[in-house]
Amino acid sequence: MLGIDGCLKQIMEIPGSHSATLVDGASGLAVAAAGRADPVDEHEDAAGTTDVVRAVLATPALSTTRTGDDIEEIIVCGTRGYHLIALINDAFEGRLFLHLLVDRDKGNLALARLRVRELLGEMAGGEGA
């Protein structure tokens, strides 16, 4: 099983990764962060992305699906990068999620999605997150 620090270290090795924050969705607090080099710290990041996750999960048009078809990721595309918010399945108390900022010119969103899902699955102790 991959630990939190090891997981974040490997996530930051994904091409184009700018920053990663592991967030406790129940409290809106940052659990851990890596790669911070901008004016937004991990605590502001955690609070803001928690609002996004809660809004998506509370919106019937986005969250009401077939049984067992839960939301796994939220992707926000900006002009300079992608915000990948990956929800971690219920292996932990509460709902953890990861916010990864990927540089649009240096990164590959598809690769980042696959690698993040793989690493979060290892951290959660299963096959996939």
Q: How far apart are CA 123 and CA 129, in angstroms?
A: 8
Single-letter amino acid code for the residue at 118: E
What is the band of 57 on the pLDDT scale with cuts at 50, 70, 90? confident
For residue 80, pLDDT beyond 70:
yes
Provide the pLDDT for residue 18: 94
* 3-class SS of residue 128: coil
Supply angle C-alpha 15, 30, 112, rounded to 5: 20
What is the band of 97 on the pLDDT scale with cuts at 50, 70, 90? very high
Q: 107: which DSSP letter?
A: -
Cross-strand bridge partners of residue 99: 21, 85
Q: Hey, where are the domains in the chain?
A: 4-63+70-124
What is the band of 123 on the pLDDT scale with cuts at 50, 70, 90? confident
For residue 128, pLDDT beyond 60:
no
Average pLDDT of the residues in 57-84 = 84
For residue 3, pLDDT beyond 80:
yes
- Nearest CA among 1, 34, 16, 32 for reference residue 115: 16
List the CATH code of the domain at 4-63+70-124: 3.30.450.30
